[in-house]
Structure 1
Amino acid sequence: MRMHAGETVTLGERDAEWPQFVWTTLAGGLGGWVPAALFDREHGEATAQADHETLELDADPGEVLRLQRELAGWWWAGNADGAHGWIPARVLEYLD
């Protein structure tokens, strides 16, 4: 799901495992979990304050990823094949 800054969405319930995420439904009916910090209100009709994509990155144990930005306990990362997406920080081991 892709959301754009300024887009009007409907916010639903918070995720039990990741409470900083809220179920977000776009005007066309497509929904997904998005960090609540990206909206101008807590529930109901809201306006997106930033672009966001909900794509998750599949990674194998031991795979080295390039971390780009962190949001709500997840990192936007890329792998050696050029794929990008979100991966939870709690599954990562950081290298120097």
Structure 2
Amino acid sequence: MDYIVTGDWTASYADPIRLSPGERVRLSGRADVWEGHRWLWATATDGREGWIPDSLVFEEGGIHMARAEYTATELTCVAGQVLEGLQESHGWVFCRAADGDTGWVPRRHLVVSEG
């Protein structure tokens, strides 16, 4: 599905957290609700930290692990730009720009393209 960006968005993190399926995740206990969705502050095995969707982790034997591959990479974009939406989760859409760059954009900054 294609989207049109309604407001400029600048990526928040230079080196965002990335997780692989089954990777151990350390949760700090910090949580936040953004756009009605719960996010958890986490640290990956490589030391990168960031917010992750609460549905991404599961606990087994007292250890938290990632259910799926995840990156918190955000996509810097400008109003009027057309993006291809690849996945939607927790108030964000993972998009691909015409130049091939990918990343998350807040859903509130996007409208579905009618064309």
User: C-alpha displacement at 1:27, in angstroms?
Assistant: 2.5
Change (3 A) 1:45 1:23: farther
Scaled by the length of structure 1, the TM-score of the pair is 0.87
Q: Which amino acid aligns with 2:51?
A: W
Counterparts of 2:19 and 2:42, CA distance in 1: 9
Residue aligning to 2:39: 21
**Aligned counterpart, 1:5:** 21
User: Which residue number corresponds to residue 70 of structure 1?
Assistant: 88
Give distance in 2, aligned partners of 1:58 and 1:81.
12
Residues in 2 aligned to 1:29 and 1:45: alpha-carbon distance in whole angstroms:
16
Letter in 1 for 2:45: A
8 Å CA contact 1:2, 1:52 repeated in 2: yes
- Superposed CA RMSD: 1.7
Structure with the bigger RCO (C-alpha within 8 Å, sep 6+) is 2
Stretches of structure 1 lacking an aligned partner (at least 5 in a row)? none
The question of 1:52 aligning with 2:70 is answered yes
Determine which of 27, 36, 58 is the counterpart of 2:54. Answer: 36
The structure with more strand, counted as a fraction of residues = 2
Q: Residue 104 of structure 2 is aligned with which of 78, 86, 90?
A: 86
Separation in 1, partners of 2:75, 2:23: 25
* Unaligned stretches of 5+ residues in structure 2: 1-16
TM normalised by structure 2 equals 0.74
- In 2, the alpha carbon distance for the partners of 1:77 and 1:85 equals 6
